[in-house]
């Protein structure tokens, strides 16, 4: 929340002086707001709940300026009609779970300007908190001070996000079934996972289906081995000798059926995703500007959809984001579905990284840093970018060379977050300016890193009244 400068001066003037300890935010009272010029005269505040919504309008608009409405669709229409009768133009509400979405759509259909704000930005209400006071506080804040509107994607991107989130949920549920399959095999002392790295692969699924259909001969099961499996048939046969317990075979059969069902649902999601992507406008003509060849081969078979998703993303964005090391097709799919392709919601790439919760958010008071870290934000795009940053630990590229010196010990959360903050900046530049990514190589970054180290050493030596002398000059 950002109030006007006058509001900040008033609240700061009334804040008590604290010399030590954690600095608390000054409380903004209703008297502080009343001294400010109103910015939105026709504003209303809504305290959103799962079963009831409390709505506050200016006191002169209705004999009962605070009213309670239910959450049924008919109640939402009555709420919108009452706001129209009170000549309300703009409404503010908190992003409470998913309960606000239905109300948001109804108010938008009635022509209201709806602002959804972060609940943490409106928690300066002093005293006892009730639903009535909360909606009145929101209405006063929106009247006298502008509240930051939360980011909301376009309708087309929201549809895409729903499909992709459902697909991710199905993939996660299928992964749980694979874990249960491996557990049942281990309890029967069938050590198939020790010779086959992926039970959900071609060989693993063929052997599991044969076991469920009654095959127990390990050598017959080993004949189902794919040519790419490194283990020999003899090793696979030895791993398939176990105790075929009836109750564990039952668990094995049910989890295998569940996994195949989830895979079928994933394929249905892929069909809907492909159909929806074709409805989105093109950003590049594939005939005049064909997609560049991939820089690397992706082996994540389970996560790849059943259509050319890389080509579709290139058509929609106009750039090939997979050229950036660490960003594979599923990661880009998640980022696009969560934040969209329009960068106008963020002024700069730094604002974009801050919104994702990847940029530093240090707490400073009196010139002293009270707390270091990043802003708490639950964002699927940020999680995907963190995983992409971790994949750079062995990348033979400029980004990999940049990440490895800071990742000590390997897997350091701070190093991963710092690298994940760099990736969305590249995505922001490519989407906004349409520039292709150019990897300058490991040597380019190694040279820059050495120059920075030398500059730092010279600065430290100068502070100690010393001077660095190259070894070549000493030898001469």
**42 Cα distance to chain centroid:** 35
What does the CA dihedral 36, 39, 44, 49 come to, rounded to 10 degrees? -80
Cα gap 289→291, rounded to integer Å? 7
Q: Hey, how many other C-beta atoms are within 10 angstroms of the C-beta on 408? A: 9
Tokens of 279: 């409805």
H or E element, residue 69? strand 66-70
Return the residue matching tokens 């001294």: 35
Q: What's residue 345's pLDDT?
A: 84
**Where would I find the H helices in 280-397?**
309-317, 329-339, 349-355, 380-390
Q: What's residue 8's pLDDT?
A: 38
Domains of the chain, residue spans: 28-144, 155-279, 309-433, 446-475
Closest CA to 308 of 331, 288, 289, 291: 291
Q: What's residue 240's pLDDT?
A: 92
SS3 52: strand
Cβ 141 vs Cβ 115: under 8 Å: no
Cα gap 474→461, rounded to integer Å? 17
Q: What's residue 28's pLDDT?
A: 56
Q: Hey, how many other C-beta atoms are within 10 angstroms of the C-beta on 110? A: 16
Cα gap 423→328, rounded to integer Å? 12
Cα gap 151→355, rounded to integer Å? 9
Write the DSSP assignment of 86-117 as a string of letters: TT--EEEEE--TTHHHHHHHHHHHTT-EEEEE
Tokens of 15: 């804040």
Q: What's residue 19's pLDDT?
A: 41
pLDDT per residue as tens, the chain (476 positions): 333 443 334 333 344 444 444 444 455 555 555 566 777 889 999 999 989 999 999 988 999 999 999 999 999 999 999 999 999 999 999 888 889 999 999 999 999 999 998 887 777 556 667 888 889 889 988 888 778 888 888 899 999 999 999 999 999 999 999 999 999 999 999 999 889 888 988 999 999 999 999 999 999 999 999 888 888 999 999 999 989 999 999 999 999 999 999 999 999 999 999 999 999 988 887 667 788 887 765 444 445 666 788 888 998 888 889 888 889 898 999 999 999 888 888 889 988 988 898 888 777 777 787 777 787 777 899 999 999 988 888 888 888 888 877 666 666 788 888 888 899 999 999 998 888 888 888 888 888 888 888 999 999 999 999 988 888 766 55
Q: How many CA atoms lie within 13 A of 201 on its CB side?
A: 16
Cβ 93 vs Cβ 141: under 8 Å: no
Tokens of 418: 């710092």
The pairs formed by 153-159 with CB atoms below 8 angstroms and a separation of 24 or more are 153/338, 153/339, 153/340, 154/340, 154/342, 156/276, 156/279, 156/280, 157/336, 157/337, 157/340, 157/341, 159/276
Q: Hey, how many other C-beta atoms are within 10 angstroms of the C-beta on 164? A: 22
CATH number (1.25.10, 1.10.287, 1.10.3210, 1.20.1250) of 155-279 reads 1.10.287
Q: What's residue 181's pLDDT?
A: 94
Q: What's residue 6's pLDDT?
A: 39
Cβ 120 vs Cβ 74: under 8 Å: no
- Phi, psi dihedrals of residue 217, rounded to the nearest 5°: -70, 115
Q: What's residue 304's pLDDT?
A: 61
Return the residue matching tokens 């502080």: 32
**205 Cα distance to chain centroid:** 32
Quick one: fold of 28-144?
Answer: Nucleotidyltransferase; domain 5 (3.30.420)
Cβ 53 vs Cβ 103: under 8 Å: yes
Q: How far is CA 453 from CA 335, 416, 422, in A?
A: 34, 21, 20
Cα gap 200→194, rounded to integer Å? 14
Cα gap 454→367, rounded to integer Å? 29
Give the list of residues 6+ apart from residue 35 with CB closer than 8 angstroms, or none: 6, 10
Read off the DSSP letter of residue 307.
S
Tokens of 350: 């730094």
Cβ 141 vs Cβ 147: under 8 Å: yes
Cα gap 347→24, rounded to integer Å? 29
Closest CA to 90 of 143, 42, 151: 42
* pTM of this structure: 0.80
């Amino acid at each position: 929340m950002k109030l006007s400068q006058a509001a900040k001066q008033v609240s700061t003037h009334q804040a008590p002086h604290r010399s030590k300890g954690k600095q608390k935010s000054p409380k903004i009272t209703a008297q502080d707001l009343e001294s400010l010029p109103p910015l939105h005269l026709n504003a209303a505040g809504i305290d959103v709940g799962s079963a009831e919504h409390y709505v506050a309008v200016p006191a002169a608009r209705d004999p009962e300026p605070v009213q309670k409405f239910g959450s049924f669709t008919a109640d939402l229409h009555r709420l919108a009609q009452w706001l129209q009768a009170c000549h309300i133009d703009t409404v503010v509400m908190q992003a409470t779970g998913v309960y606000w979405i239905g109300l948001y759509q109804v108010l938008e259909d009635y022509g209201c300007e709806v602002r959804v704000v972060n609940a943490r930005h409106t928690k300066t209400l002093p005293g006892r908190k009730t639903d009535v006071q909360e909606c009145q506080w929101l209405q006063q804040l929106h009247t006298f001070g502008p509240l930051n509107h939360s980011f909301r994607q376009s309708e087309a991107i929201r549809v895409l996000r729903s499909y992709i989130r459902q697909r991710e949920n199905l993939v996660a549920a299928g992964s749980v079934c694979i874990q249960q399959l491996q557990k049942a095999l281990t309890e029967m002392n069938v050590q198939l996972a020790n010779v086959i790295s992926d039970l959900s692969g071609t060989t693993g699924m063929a052997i599991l289906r044969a076991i469920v259909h009654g095959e127990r001969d390990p050598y017959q099961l080993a004949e189902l081995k794919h040519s790419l499996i490194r283990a020999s048939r003899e090793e696979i046969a030895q791993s398939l000798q176990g105790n075929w317990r009836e109750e564990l075979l039952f668990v094995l059969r049910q989890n295998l059926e569940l996994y195949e069902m989830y895979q079928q649902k994933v394929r249905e999601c892929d069909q809907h995703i492909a159909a929806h992507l074709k409805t989105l406008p093109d950003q590049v003509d594939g005939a005049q500007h064909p997609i560049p060849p991939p820089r690397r081969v992706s082996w994540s078979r389970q996560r790849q959809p059943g259509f050319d998703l890389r080509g579709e993303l290139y058509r929609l964005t106009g750039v090939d984001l997979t050229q950036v090391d660490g960003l594979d097709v599923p990661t880009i799919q998640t980022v696009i579905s969560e934040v969209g392709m329009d960068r106008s919601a963020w002024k700069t790439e730094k604002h974009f990284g801050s919104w994702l919760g990847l940029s530093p958010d240090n707490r400073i008071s009196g010139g002293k840093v009270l707390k270091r870290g990043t802003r708490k934000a639950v964002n699927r795009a940020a999680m995907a970018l963190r995983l992409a940053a971790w994949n750079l630990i062995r990348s033979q590229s400029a980004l990999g060379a940049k990440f490895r010196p800071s990742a000590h010990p390997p897997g350091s959360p701070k190093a991963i977050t710092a690298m994940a903050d760099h990736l969305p900046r590249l995505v922001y530049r490519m989407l906004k300016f349409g520039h292709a990514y150019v990897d300058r190589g490991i040597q380019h970054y190694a040279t820059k890193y050495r120059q920075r180290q030398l500059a730092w050493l010279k600065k430290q030596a100068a502070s100690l009244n010393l001077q660095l002398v190259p070894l070549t000059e000493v030898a001469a």
